[in-house]
Structure 1
Amino acid sequence: MKSRSYQVFGNMVDRIDTDEKVVALTFDDGPNQKVPELLALLDEYSVPATFFLVGRDIETHPEEMRMIINSSEITPIPIQE
Structure 2
Amino acid sequence: MIDRADVEELIFRVAQCAFRYHPSRSTTEPGYTVEEDVAWCVEPLSRKEGVDAEALARSIQLLITDPTADRRAFIAEWERRAQ
TM-score, normalised on structure 2? 0.26
Greater Rg over alpha carbons, structure: 1
Which structure shows the higher strand fraction? 1
- Between Structure 1 and Structure 2, the one with more helix by share is 2
Greater RCO structure (CA 8 Å; 6+ sep): 2
